[in-house]
Amino acid sequence: MAGLAAGALGLLVLLSIFLIQRFDRAATEREEHMVENGFAVVTAELNRVVATQVEWDGAIANLDNRFDPNWADFNIGNYLHVFHGFSHAYVLGPDDRVIYASARGERADLATYAPFEATVRSLLPEVRAQERVRPKPGKRPGKNNIVIPSIQASRIALVDGRPFIVSATLVQPDFGEDLPKGPRAPIAIAVKPIDQAMLKSFADRYMLDDLVVRSPAALSAADGKLLLSDRSGEPVAALTWAPQRPGTMLLRQLAAPLFLLLGMLAALAWRVIQRGSAIATDLIASEARAKHAAFHDSLTRLPNRAYLFERLAQSLRRVEGPETAVAVMCVDLDRFKEVNDTLGHNAGDALLEAMAERLRLACSEATCVARLGGDEFVVLLETGDEAAALVLGRRIIRAVSERVVSEYGKIEVACSIGFAFIDQPGIEPSEALRWADMALYRSKEIGGRRVSRFTPDMDQDLRHRLQLEVELREAIGSEQFSMVYQPHFDRRRNLKGYEALLRWNHPVRGAISPSVFVPLAEDSGLIMVLGEHVLRQVFEETRQWRGVKIAINVSAVQLRARGFAAQVMRILAASGADARSYEIEVTETALLGDDQETISNIDALKRMGFAIALDDFGTGFSSLNVLQRFSVDKIKIDCSFVAALGAGRGSEALIEAIVNLARGLDMIVVAEGVETEAQWDHLLKAGCRQFQGHLLGRPEPAAAINRALPALRSASAA
Ligand code: C2E
Ligand code: MG
Ligand code: MG
């Protein structure tokens, strides 16, 4: 734009210069024309002067009929010099020979004629030719009016480098008192120098500046000029003067305001250009920002789902075979939901940011690292080397699985990866991601913190899971769900209570483990209805059982739900059961953090008379803080520690530590999953107070317990 403006300005200036020059040139041409005419007028006037001196009867009498040099001195040589500035005068006889010469008003030697002779000779034929054809003047008495046309010719001559006007005039009678004696009359020659005096009067008359005579060789293009040619037609001198330049003059006068105006225009244009470019820059920047925002996640600043899909589509289009394959990795934090649910969203965000940073660092060779949403990230790697891609996957797990220290405390993190190696053309981005996601699910299923490679059977599994979810939805509230109760005992194997465990007897698939369908119910939101069903059933079936504690498992999702305690209260009241006979089992991670609903639900349950047991102790984010904060009544040591007993010193020491800790806080320690007498001995020695496991009793339906309970109770009492 600036270039365009400058170009237009330049063009304008060039055009102005061109026009001014044209204007000046035209003016100069007009002046030259004027000077040419003026010079002709001056020459004519000079001729006229000479003519008045030699065209009368006296001139015929004194130059032709007889020759009187004195008369010639007075009337020609002296007169022309003194009054009209002629430098030389001559008289030629009828035979064209010089008979009289005068220089600067004085009679002179005839030899002074020589320099002008050639020029004069060139004029004579013209004069004589006219003389031959002129009307013969005759005597006409009484009539004093013979008006005879002058017979004259003039020419420029260059003598000693100085230009002269040489004019030849035929001597003629006027009244015819005296007539030439022969057919040819004398001719008067007058020579006038084109000198300073003549130029000055000429310049004054035509208002010319610096009028000078120059040699035609020394002309300047800028000057106005009139070329003066001699008899041969060659320019021998030039009149030159400083021509008027109206264009330039106009420009000079207009220059200042014009430049001012141009300056202002330029400044204005500059301002407009600057403003325009600032606006353009802003626009470009804001477009870039918008584009960045549209394609990036605001929390982690990683590319987002939209970007990933585009990038993945691009990568997949390039796939032709194993050489040009793309590895798609879905990376998901293990148990992120728990952190988010328990430590709060800010802690979750901090964790995601830390994870994004670690991913970025670990995957420098990746084609793209994006956040798909939640705690799900995707890493793309264009590579034909599947093994190398798997190595990257394992490196990611190592990099991410480092404790995160944030203002919310130390958070243990780990991640799982689903890996799909796309080496065939024609796979859609959504399909590739679905594959990686299925592999991810497998990683999670088998405990997390690992890379699983997609295999076609996973597709089958996923369909199965989805199918199961549909069936779960339909089964809730039906006969398919029932409760079984597993007893727990004290150190002397006296019955202390039962843990209520949910069972799903699928009409086709048979018994399905709660560890399969409970997470499914949690994920799909069905857990609230399912949990309600459990509470109703348990209270209903067990309210008559006296002297035993019934433990009910409650999911973190239930505990976090607003009004959960009120729901329990309602069901309890409807069933007529006594809260003091029940224990709510929650996993320790459900109590982490400061979720207000969880806190108030626990408080309300405790106030109602429920005891609180911490389930699966030692497997989650064990926080001693939680034990005290919620004044937990019971700790249940997870089966895995019990199973590990005897295998090494570790688990014994751990169990002892937990027991000591619980004793200090006045809590009961229960060991779960006791299967052998050896384990029993170990646990007894470690100081466990209660025991649950197949060694002591398997879960049984309420009906079976109803039958056995009186006997058991009396055995315990004994
Ligand atoms: P949990 O609360 O830790 O329950 C104990 C699990 O250990 C039960 O598995 C029980 O059958 C099993 N078990 C007991 N003694 C032994 C033993 O000697 N050896 C072995 N290997 N296992 C033993 P189950 O019934 O499959 O339940 C699994 C998990 O499902 C439970 O773990 C609990 O977290 C959840 N769950 C069960 N019922 C419910 C329910 O009504 N509501 C909720 N929210 N979760 C439930
Ligand atoms: Mg339990
Ligand atoms: Mg347990």
pLDDT attached to residue 605: 96
User: How does pLDDT run across 267-282, given as a tens digit for each residue?
Assistant: 998 898 899 889 999 9
Residue 610 to residues 277, 501, 561, 572, 607, Cα–Cα distance (Å): 72, 18, 18, 11, 7
CA of 587 to the centre of ligand 2 (A): 8
**580 in the Ramachandran plot: left (φ > 0), alpha (ψ -120 to 50) or beta?**
alpha
Q: Residue 101 — very low, low, confident or very high, per pLDDT cuts 50/70/90?
A: very high
State the first-to-last Cα distance of the chain, in angstroms, to the nearest integer: 105
User: How does pLDDT run across 392-426, given as a tens digit for each residue?
Assistant: 999 999 998 888 888 877 888 889 999 999 999 99
**Closest-CA residue to 696 (of 484, 487, 483):** 487
Residue 211 to residues 196, 205, 241, Cα–Cα distance (Å): 9, 12, 4
> Which residue's entry shows tokens 């797990």?
397
Atom of ligand 1 nearest to the CA of 484: 25
User: Six-digit token pair at 373?
Assistant: 């949403």
On whether the CB atoms of residues 607 and 640 are closer than 8 A, the answer is: no
451-453: strand order across its sheet: 368-373, 376-382, 326-333, 415-422, 451-453
Helix or strand (DSSP H, E) at 464: helix 456-475
The span from the CA of 581 to the CA of 67, in Å, is 177
pTM (predicted TM-score): 0.52
Average pLDDT rounded to a whole number, residues 59-84: 94
DSSP lists the bridge partners of residue 89 as 102, 190
Average pLDDT rounded to a whole number, residues 643-661: 84
The DSSP-derived string for 380-441 is EEE-S-HHHHHHHHHHHHHHH-S-EEETTEEE---EEEEEEEE-STT--HHHHHHHHHHHHH
User: How does pLDDT run across 559-571, given as a tens digit for each residue?
Assistant: 989 999 999 999 9
Q: How are beta strands 368-373 and 235-242 bridged, if at all? A: unpaired
Percent of the chain with pLDDT over 90: 57
The span from the CA of 344 to the CA of 336, in Å, is 11
**Closest-CA residue to 117 (of 84, 155, 75):** 155
DSSP lists the bridge partners of residue 549 as 497
Atom of ligand 1 nearest to the CA of 501: 38
User: Six-digit token pair at 52?
Assistant: 């008045």
On whether the CB atoms of residues 94 and 186 are closer than 8 A, the answer is: yes
Residue list, ligand 1 pocket, CB within 6 Å: 486, 501-502, 513-515, 518, 534, 553-555, 585, 615-616, 639, 672-675, 692-694, 699
- Please determine, for residue 549, whether its predicted confidence score (pLDDT) is greater than 80: yes
Q: For a substitution probing ligand 1, which of 484, 501, 670 has the most ligand atoms within 8 Å of its CB?
A: 501
CA of 464 to the centre of ligand 2 (A): 27
**Closest-CA residue to 25 (of 173, 188, 176, 223):** 223
Q: Residue 359 — very low, low, confident or very high, per pLDDT cuts 50/70/90?
A: very high
Ligand 1: which residue has its CA nearest to atom 22?
Answer: 673
Backbone angles phi, psi at 417, to 5 degrees: -130, 135
DSSP lists the bridge partners of residue 488 as 497, 692
pLDDT attached to residue 141: 45
Q: Residue 149 — very low, low, confident or very high, per pLDDT cuts 50/70/90?
A: confident
User: How does pLDDT run across 301-347, given as a tens digit for each residue?
Assistant: 999 999 999 999 999 999 998 899 999 999 999 888 878 877 888 88
Q: How are beta strands 495-506 and 510-512 bridged, if at all? A: antiparallel
- The four Cα atoms 403, 406, 409, 415 give a dihedral, to 10 degrees, of -30
Ligand 1: which residue has its CA nearest to atom 24?
Answer: 514
User: Six-digit token pair at 95?
Assistant: 């035979």
The span from the CA of 377 to the CA of 351, in Å, is 13
The span from the CA of 127 to the CA of 153, in Å, is 7
CB neighbourhood size of 574 (10 A): 12
The span from the CA of 145 to the CA of 158, in Å, is 39
Query: For residue 554, which ligand has an atom nearest its CA?
Result: 1
pLDDT attached to residue 347: 87
Contacts of residue 75, defined as CB under 8 A and 6 or more positions apart, other chains included, come to 53, 54, 58, 59, 62
Q: Residue 584 — very low, low, confident or very high, per pLDDT cuts 50/70/90?
A: very high
Ligand 1: which residue has its CA nearest to atom 43?
Answer: 553
pLDDT attached to residue 123: 94
pLDDT attached to residue 334: 85
Collapsing DSSP to helix, strand or coil, 486 comes out as strand
Average pLDDT rounded to a whole number, residues 464-469: 86
Atom of ligand 1 nearest to the CA of 692: 15
CA of 79 to the centre of ligand 3 (A): 153
On whether the CB atoms of residues 610 and 632 are closer than 8 A, the answer is: no
Q: What is the chain's length? A: 718
What is the chain's mean pLDDT, rounded? 89
CA of 553 to the centre of ligand 2 (A): 5
User: How does pLDDT run across 664-713, given as a tens digit for each residue?
Assistant: 888 999 999 999 999 999 999 989 999 999 999 999 999 999 988 877 77
CB neighbourhood size of 337 (10 A): 17
Q: Where are the alpha helices (DSSP H) in 543-630?
A: 556-560, 564-575, 588-591, 596-608, 624-629
Average pLDDT rounded to a whole number, residues 279-307: 89
On whether the CB atoms of residues 191 and 86 are closer than 8 A, the answer is: yes
The span from the CA of 707 to the CA of 353, in Å, is 57
Q: Residue 460 — very low, low, confident or very high, per pLDDT cuts 50/70/90?
A: confident
pLDDT attached to residue 622: 64
Average pLDDT rounded to a whole number, residues 209-224: 86
CB neighbourhood size of 250 (10 A): 13
Atom of ligand 1 nearest to the CA of 527: 44
On whether the CB atoms of residues 83 and 52 are closer than 8 A, the answer is: no
Residue 152 to residues 50, 178, 194, 644, Cα–Cα distance (Å): 9, 20, 19, 150
pLDDT attached to residue 216: 87
| HSE value, Cβ hemisphere, 13 Å, CA-based, for 582 | 29
pLDDT attached to residue 219: 84
pLDDT attached to residue 142: 45
Q: For a substitution probing ligand 1, which of 672, 683, 698, 700 has the most ligand atoms within 8 Å of its CB?
A: 672
Print burial letters for 400-430: b (CB count within 10 Å at least 16), e (below 16).
bbeebeeebeebebbbbbbbbbbbeeebebe
On whether the CB atoms of residues 575 and 605 are closer than 8 A, the answer is: no
224-229: strand order across its sheet: 209-214, 235-242, 224-229
Query: Which range is least confidently modeled, 435-444, 475-484, 539-548, 591-600?
Result: 591-600
The span from the CA of 44 to the CA of 667, in Å, is 146
pLDDT attached to residue 717: 61
Contacts of residue 256, defined as CB under 8 A and 6 or more positions apart, other chains included, come to none
- Structural domains in the chain, CATH included, are 55-193 (3.30.450), 305-454 (3.30.70.270), 475-702 (3.20.20.450)
The DSSP-derived string for 315-375 is HHHH--SGGG-EEEEEEEETTHHHHHHHH-HHHHHHHHHHHHHHHHHHTTT-SEEEEEETT
Q: Residue 618 — very low, low, confident or very high, per pLDDT cuts 50/70/90?
A: confident
Ligand 1: which residue has its CA nearest to atom 8?
Answer: 501
Average pLDDT rounded to a whole number, residues 649-671: 87
**618 in the Ramachandran plot: left (φ > 0), alpha (ψ -120 to 50) or beta?**
left
CA of 501 to the centre of ligand 1 (A): 6
pLDDT attached to residue 609: 96
Collapsing DSSP to helix, strand or coil, 180 comes out as coil
Percent of the chain with pLDDT over 70: 97
> Which residue's entry shows tokens 């075979």?
321
Give me the helix-helix angle, 246-295 and 305-318, nearest 10°.
Answer: 90
Q: How are beta strands 187-193 and 209-214 bridged, if at all? A: unpaired
- The four Cα atoms 509, 510, 515, 519 give a dihedral, to 10 degrees, of 50
